[in-house]
Amino acid sequence: MANIKGKHVIPGESMGTEEEFVPGLGTYVEGEEIRSSAAGMLSEEDRSLSVSRRNLLSSLRSGSVVLGRVENVVEPIALISVLPIQGGNVRFAQLPDNCVLHASRIKDGFVKNVRDELRIGDIVRAKISEIRQGEIHVSTEGAEFGVLKAFCIKCRHPLALLGGALSCSSCGNKENRKLASDYRSVSI
């Protein structure tokens, strides 16, 4: 098996077989497969596999690029659950605490209301700007950051980008977001 130490895993992910390894903390066995019972970081010692939850948070650094989902908007901030990215694949490993995105860090230029740029349920690419007392602050400033997938606030249909404007092909609603330059070209 490839080098697995330090790998982020999600609940249910297969990490190896009982032929190779011994199941440890944070794992369960299904058939012959040892799977993770938690979102966290995998470690292996003396052929025993275990998953540590906390290391997921501690593995994030200022400057890390993350995918997240907007869980709530409480002006002037959005609360975002982070989905760490690994090797181009999205890992839906929700952290225990949400990250904070302040209106002033959404884009270059003044943002009066978070809701003018982001809505609950949107998937965003963000950069960790600061980790302070366990609180993670993120930013979506810059062309590659911002909303990757948005949903109609009226009918929840995914919004399409047509002629530079976001619109709902189901109900015709037009909306605005701080978009990432590759909006909807990423499969999520």
Asked if 70 touches Zn ion (CB under 5 A), the answer is no
DSSP three-state, residue 54: helix
Q: How far is the CB of 157 from Zn ion (least distance, A)?
A: 5
- What contacts 163, CB < 8 A, 6 or more positions away? none
- Interacting residue with Zn ion among 154, 165, 176, 188 (CB under 5 A): 154
Q: How far is the CB of 175 from Zn ion (least distance, A)?
A: 9
Side chain identity, residue 3:
N
Q: Please give the helix or strand (H or E) that residue 44 lies within, else none.
A: strand 40-45
From CA 162, how far away is CA 33, in angstroms rounded?
Answer: 46
Nearer Cβ to Zn ion, position 143 or 171? Answer: 171
Site string for Zn ion, 165-184 (x = CB under 5 A): ---x-xx-x-----------
Q: How far is the CB of 132 from Zn ion (least distance, A)?
A: 38
Tokens of 74: 């409480």
Asked if 25 touches Zn ion (CB under 5 A), the answer is no
Q: How far is the CB of 105 from Zn ion (least distance, A)?
A: 28
- What contacts 177, CB < 8 A, 6 or more positions away? 117, 118, 119, 122, 146, 147, 150, 159, 166
Site string for Zn ion, 109-148 (x = CB under 5 A): ----------------------------------------
What's the Rg (C-alpha) of the chain? 19
- Interacting residue with Zn ion among 18, 157, 165, 181 (CB under 5 A): 157
Nearer Cβ to Zn ion, position 82 or 168? Answer: 168
Binding residues for Zn ion, rule CB under 5 A, total 8
Count CB-CB contacts under 10 A for residue 41: 23
Q: How far is the CB of 86 from Zn ion (least distance, A)?
A: 33
Q: Which residue reads 């909303």 in tokens?
A: 147
Binding stretches for Zn ion (CB under 5 A):
152, 154-155, 157, 168, 170-171, 173
